[in-house]
Structure 1
Amino acid sequence: MSGVDVNLVLRSTRVVTPEGTRPAAVAVAGGTIDAVLPYDADVPAGARLEDFGDDVLLPGLVDTHVHVNDPGRTEWEGFWTATRAAAAGGITTLLDMPLNSLPPTTTVDHLRTKQQVAAPKAHIDTGFWGGAIPSNVKDLRPLYEAGVFGFKCFLSPSGVEEFPELDQEQLARSMAEIAGFGGLLIVHAEDPHHLADAPQRPGPAYADFLASRPRDAENTAIEGLIAHAKRLNARVHVLHLKCCPPIREAANQDILWAGLADGTIDCIVSDHSPCTTDLKTPDFASAWGGISSLQLGLPAIWTEARRRGHSLDDVARWMSAAPAELAGLTRKGAIEAGRDADFAVLAPEATFTVDPAELFHRNQVTAYAGKTLHGVVRSSWLRGVRIASDGVLAEPTGRLLERDR
């Protein structure tokens, strides 16, 4: 060990480390993982031991795609409710998307407004993406220097008028500016012309919804994005493989899982995009297109992953290590010495049936209502402090994160 005073040891027969799952004891000092030790290692004098038996000790999940909507649309969600739901679900770090709040995170002043709102309410560590819109190329570098983790843009309408999409010329200008300081651009890639030409039949039929968001809209937008990125030597990440654009047919879902298995798809994050209950209409054309899943993401993914033969090592890579790497969160995403002591404790064989009344989201609307899922989150830990335990939440201790300089 490092010689720093260890004050906590977490022990489990199943600890998910970068080298695989094994029995281990994790020594924590000052909120940091000091060492990953053999399971039967002596507990240092003065340290508290927490033994989880056969429950799995995972690295705390990192969700880099969350719409908290605070301030401005707090009737949809807020930092207090969103981060409580995240903590209850094993998520210890989130990055907030720049749109759906008022103001959007498109200037440094707007970022500071959002940080002031978030600071006293965050139950988990919280960072922020900036937004790239047609009018703010001049604001991109100042936002990056102020600590945002990168920039989100849309190539088709975002759904809120204060966050307009970029056309191809505007995309090139924003991408060139961001490439100039080595930033990351994350992109909702659907071509607006293909969307405009697609049939728009309102109603509850999923086939009609699929027809309204054709494959060509994705393919054309991504091809153009790759061409710009090559020409400008820019860092670009394509996001959104569900809702809009839709997950499509069962065969396409199988291909998405294959993409996760072979590394084509980097990570799984929630795109937690909540709304009030009145916006969840039975019409695909008018319903708000988002699924509230912060609290349920880990068991939802584990339920399907285990059915398909994947392991919790895979889940930890998709939902913790890879998102942390994407955003440059070097202290997050793994159980290894030097990282923050952020953990989720999961009973992977246990099951539960989703009751919306037990969710901490502001609006208890869920696509998983009545579903039986595998994987019960027993507790969550942030820098060595238990912040959630069997649905009981501690007072907020989350910190506001800025990009590592």
Structure 2
Amino acid sequence: MGELYMNKHHKTVLIPALCIAAFFTMSACADSKTADTQQKNTADKSYTQQGIDIAAYEKKLADNRENYKLGCEQYSTDTDAVKNKDYRNLSFTNCTFKDMPETNELYVMEGGVHGITTQESWDTIKDWLESIGKLDTTDMDSEVRIINSDLGMDDTKETPYSYPALKDHMDLASGVGALVNTNECHIQIADNGIYSMSDGKIGAYLNTDAHASSDALGTYTDDVVKSGTIDELGKESYQLINGELTIEQGAELTGEYFENGTPFVPTDGITLSVPEVRVFKLGQVYGYDYMVQRQYHGVPIAYHDYGNYQIYGNEYNFEEDIKHAYVVDSDGVSAYAGVNDSEPLENLYSSDGILGIKDAADILSGKMAKFLNVDVQSVCLTYVPLNFGDGSECKIYLPAWQFDGINRTKDENIRMYLDAFTGEVYYYTYGEAA
């Protein structure tokens, strides 16, 4: 892709900050204009190739790919060689190379739509309200609303009541766009199930009068006292609303919560991990803010946090996972927002041959601008979700080497992905380096 960093036609992209109805920008390969009349699991297969032309992709496959298992066996030796090599624009001296995942092959995949009917949405909300003890105090006929482009909204009313009541539109096939947002609780349903929720505990403890969606958005979690990986901080414990809980215990409760389904269980091949935590001050006690990450057959799917990033070019957008889960007592997840684990994944291409880390580093150095001075801090193998900007809103997952570092030329964070099958490079910059 040439010296990508020198492309002057860059654009700034906001990693989606979650809000009511944010899921209408989520990637899906079904025609949004007909979604309301489609039954679940009927995504139009004619859209399969809109995000990527597999025949053209296969023509780009690198000739010097090596067997994955062989790459694993020589990984330690290869990473030492990368650390000791003098690259013109990259430094790996202080880099942490994460272990290669245990897998037999890697895939190019397309993300899809699980689908949910209006009746399923209604039943899911009812069951959820009962599970948090608020079914008897919530008037579902009044509080459960539907967001639908054909139905529109009443701008004279306050959100969420500007949207129609779901009970009046149960004849619609699609239940996407159902929500409740009161001071007591919040739930929002998207294509693949529950997109965000709050049982209201955070707001109640702080005695706020805001809608409970504020809990799911992390509005009260900015006072961070410590952050790091679960491996680093797992044994530490803090006083929560109803006693102490170790960070590790909270992470286990978080994983179990999503593995049970929200409401659909994770897609076949998907497992979940909780790699990071932020401990935040919540009034006189504390809470845990966990990042949740998907893995596909043992290979992690790239994730990131909210914020702004810059892409230098218009050919693609990043759709990395963003999911925060908040634990404030021993009951487990009290609020969350983010990508749903039941997103269907369709395999479009697979292979056990990839570019090894030495070749990947050589290619990356050659394709990035000469004047760069990147201190690469970590490297791992992952799946990067991309939208290629052709208007299809099709999310494509590519196997990639992920390089995270600091561009010392501008003192900014930079993330670079190198397609492990083709050697294509995708990257963005974000925020000032710490």
TM-score range, shorter chain: under 0.3
Decide which structure has the larger Cα Rg and report it. Answer: 2
TM-score by length of 2: 0.25
Q: Which structure shows the higher helix fraction?
A: 1
Higher strand share: 2
